Structure 1
Amino acid sequence: MAGSFGAMGDDDGSIDYTVHEAWNEATNVYLIVILVSVALFMYAKRNKRKIMRIFSVPPTEETSSEPNFYDTMSKIRLRQQLEMYSISRKYDYQQPQSQADSVQLSLE
């Protein structure tokens, strides 16, 4: 097992460069990530309005097309009341004001 792990355990004096190569690759990856992050930050700083337009809420005209729930319920209730009033007025006009429709109860 001599010489297979690390530079300090080598008997023949050769240096194992796998750790150094891995460190160099990792450093290169970190540098690329940092450069891409800086580039994205600069792009975001210059094009702030475009990015905010993408993530902003829809325009107010779309939100106004969808009514509030309570407004809708009150309008439905008002419409029902008007329909019932209309039906009762029609019924009043159709039926003469007589006592023929009244029910008489008698106790025995």
Structure 2
Amino acid sequence: MGGHGSEPESIDYSVHEAWNEATNVYLLVILVSFGLLINKRKIMRIFTLPPTVGSTPEPNFYDSLQKVRLRQQLEMYSLARKFDQQQGQTDSVQLSME
């Protein structure tokens, strides 16, 4: 009977020890994750290529938006010129037919 009494204690102790080890591993993983999140820029700098001398590292959003708007305006101007030229040709054709 004395052997049966000590057996559950040893099982409880091994479960307790395994729980402590697992908890320590989880805490270590959480701490490492926080450290990586905080130092993300430093870590990303290691894995990224250095920017070339001539180019800017990151284009400005406002500049790219201005370029898109300018491109749209040029396309609309080009379409308007083509339309005006076509209208001029049809007018001259109509005039010559009369």
Structure 1-normalised TM-score? 0.44
Whichever of the two has the greater Rg, that structure is 1
Structure 2-normalised TM-score? 0.47
Which of the pair is proportionally richer in helix?
2
Q: Which has the higher relative contact order, 1 or 2, with Cα contacts under 8 A spaced 6 or more apart?
A: 1
